[in-house]
Copies of this chain bind each other. A is one copy, B any other.
Amino acid sequence: MPNDVTCHHFHDDKNCLCQVPIFNHLDTSELQKIINLVDSKSYKKNDFLYQPGDYTTALYVIRCGQVKIYRLSESSKEQVIRILKPGDFIGESSIFTNSVHESYAEILEDTDICIIEKDKLDDLMKKYPSIALKFLEEFSKRIEKTERQTTLIGSNSIDLRLAAYLINLYDRKHPKTPIKLTMTKKDLASYLGTTPETISRKLGKFEDSGYIRQISNKEILILDSEALELME
Interface residue ranges, A against B (CB under 8 Å): 71-75, 77-79, 81, 92-93, 96-97, 102-103, 125-126, 129, 132-133, 135-137, 139-144, 146-157, 160, 164, 190, 192-193, 231-232
Contact = CB atoms under 8 A, between A and B. Distances in A.
A55 B153 CA distance: 26
Contact of A73 (B74, B126, B137, B151): B151
Contacts of A75: 155-157, 160, 232
Given A93-B144, A103-B147, A132-B136, A74 B154 contact: no
A123 to B, nearest CB: 13
B157 A96 contact: no
Secondary structure at chain A's binding surface: helix, strand, loop or mixed?
Answer: helix
Contact of A78 (B93, B102, B155, B160): B155
A129 B147 CA distance: 28
B73 A155 contact: yes
B71 A148 contact: yes
Contact of A150 (B92, B153, B232): B153
